[in-house]
Structure 1
Amino acid sequence: MFACIAPHGGEIIPELCGALPDRMKLTRNSMVKLGKKMQDAKPETIIVLTPHGTRIDGYFSVTNSERMYGFVEENDGYYELERYVDRNLAVSITEVAAEQGIPIASINFGTAAGPISCLPLDWGSIVPLSFMPDVPIVVINPSRELSFDLHVKLGEVISQVVRNSGKRVALIASCDWAHAHDERGPYGFDPAAEMLDEEVVGFIRSNELEKMAEFDAEYIEAAKPDGIWQTLILAGAIPKESRKIHLYSYEVPTYFGLICAEISTSDDDE
């Protein structure tokens, strides 16, 4: 019922902005708007696509714990979040994807069910979810060992499963973009960062998300984005002919790019 591309820099959360509240203000304001739109959509479940969750080499991973809990610490601030998992939807996505030959694994921790069945909630999920309604979630982590085509295919499976479930489901592609904008940053500076982000903004404006699959591997490595994989899953879940994109904002307040965009679908008026 609603989808968005949202960033996950910790300072976006007001409690973590420290002494520089204006540094990510543009993005923070955009996230507030996205949160209100998400609230208006009244989702029963939110699917989060994050690059920072539990990774399994060569497999997509899907949460199947009773709940998830995590926290983020930044600028002497602390923010924690807990959400229950929509296990029925998570299992259905895993089963249907596996039936279609997609490498995918369901993950849990501790016990099969109950309060000890709890997986860590990563900052790629916590930051966007902090602005969203408190409903059950499904967290999916992509795998960079798998082809871009398989990421699109997984998105198609997600769409199929969601429609068959009859639930009102929202989708968040949690994405930061090029991480090589500043020589003082942990990844240094590379001119590819500005170039790639400019192209990504163009693809979002023109509703051509699938074109990110055409990026050269060396180009990606130089720019160091972490949003391509999640965006391609979203592109599979909401194909071009069914989506409209509204770019809210783009900024580079530190060493990595931040994009907020709303994706509305042809189902919105149903």
Structure 2
Amino acid sequence: MNPFVFACITPHGGEIIPELAGKRPERMKITRNSMEQIGEKMKEANPDTIIVLTPHGTRIDGMFAITNSEKMHGSVEENGASYTVTRKVDRDLAMEITKAAKLLEIPTASVNFGSAAGPASVLPLDWGVIVPLAFMPETEIVVINPSRELSFEQHIQFGKVIRQVTQNSEKRIALIASCDWSHAHDEKGPYGFDPAAKELDEDVVTLIEANELEKMADFEPAYIEAAKPDGIWQALVLAGAMPKEYRKIRFLSYEAPTYFGLICAEVGSN
């Protein structure tokens, strides 16, 4: 059984947001159209809380970092424009995930800032969360940062914890794996060019279309380092949360209009 009302794999390039597209709205148009479809499906699912897995928020070496502030707030700036998001955190759900992970001795930390509670308890929202949330209904959120110091198997196990907590909750919970892919598509980009980028992105598309997310754990470390994706860790948490026998993936789109790859996919019940 799939306990999530909706799940998806989304990218987080700032220009996907229409307000940040600037003078070249066609550059991420394919992805933007896919995100609008995903957003509509999320609205239809009507979640009480959206869990977002992001590689770009508050990172703690060797631990999964789970938000436990009253709210989160942040902005993304692109092409001279800014897009701001503020969301309340579902602290009860966040603490349930934290407790369940610690019981299984999965390295996990609860993160807050400013004060224990009240209006000063605010953590920053990163672009890995802001971009997908720009297309989603306004709900409470729980933001989770994986750790690359932990094994792929631990990421799958952590996903199983999220699944367990969701099954025991009376809330309608959705899950977003916020993932950009290889970052070495362009020699003028910040990470340069490596032919592994195109190859790894093609492999990822194949695995998503075949509903074989778990096989991303088989990628060699040198291959990952050359291509520089940031999506594998979140995708493996999602794989643990929604095992293959309970999930059905609808692949929507892939493009690499700049130096990094963008993939959109819906993940539903099998």
TM-score between both structures, scaled by the size of structure 2: 0.98
Q: Distance in 1 between matches of 2:192 and 2:115?
A: 42
Matches within 5 A, 1:80-91: 80-91=84-95
Q: After superposition, where does 1:12-51 map in structure 2 within 5 Å?
A: 12-51=16-55
Q: Does residue 1:188 correspond to 2:192, yes or no?
A: yes
CA distance in 1, matches of 2:59, 2:28: 28
After TM superposition, give the deviation of residue 44 of structure 1 in Å. Answer: 0.4
Q: Does 1:54 align with 2:58?
A: yes
Alignment match, 1:144: 148
Deviations 1:240-260 (A, max 9, x none): 000000000000000100000
Structure 1: which 5+ residue stretches go unaligned?
none
CA apart distance, 1:167: 1.1
1:73 aligns with 2:77: yes
* Aligned partner letter, 1:128: P
Q: Deviation at 1:165? A: 1.1
Aligned with 2:69: secondary structure? coil
Other structure's SS at 1:165 match:
coil
Residue by residue, what CA displacement relative to the aligned partner does 1:162-191 show, whole Å, maximum 9, x if unpaired?
110121100000000000001111100000
Structure 1 residues 218-257: aligned runs within 5 Å: 218-257=222-261
Q: Which amino acid aligns with 1:56?
A: I
| Residue deviations 1:129-158 (CA, integer Å, cap 9, x gap) | 010010000000000000000000000000
Q: Distance in 2 between matches of 1:264 and 1:96?
A: 24
Partner of residue 176 from structure 1, selected from 171, 174, 180? 180
Partner Cα distance (1:19, 1:184) in 2: 20
Per-residue deviation, 1:160? 0.3
For 2:15, what is the secondary structure of its paired residue? helix
Q: Quick one: distance in 2 between partners of 1:170 and 1:7?
A: 16
CA distance in 2, matches of 1:167, 1:189: 45
Q: Report the Cα offset of residue 233 of structure 1.
A: 0.1
Poorly superposed stretches of 4+, deviation over 2 Å:
none
Aligned pair count reads 266
Aligned equivalents of 1:72, 1:213: Cα separation in 2: 31
The CA distance in 2 between the partners of 1:154 and 1:188, in whole Å, is 33
Amino acid at match of 2:142: V
Structure 2 gap segments, 5+ residues each: none
Shift of residue 126 of structure 1? Answer: 0.1
Q: State the match for 1:258 in structure 2.
A: 262
Identity of aligned residues (%): 69
Q: SS state of the match for residue 168, structure 2?
A: helix
Structure 2 CA distance, aligned partners of 1:265 and 1:66? 32
2:18 corresponds to 1:11: no
| Selected match of 1:214 from 211, 214, 218 | 218
Amino acid paired to 1:15:
E
Q: Secondary structure at the match of 1:96?
A: helix
Q: Report the alpha carbon displacement of residue 24 of structure 1 after superposing the two structures with TM.
A: 0.2
Q: Distance in 2 between matches of 1:126 and 1:93?
A: 22
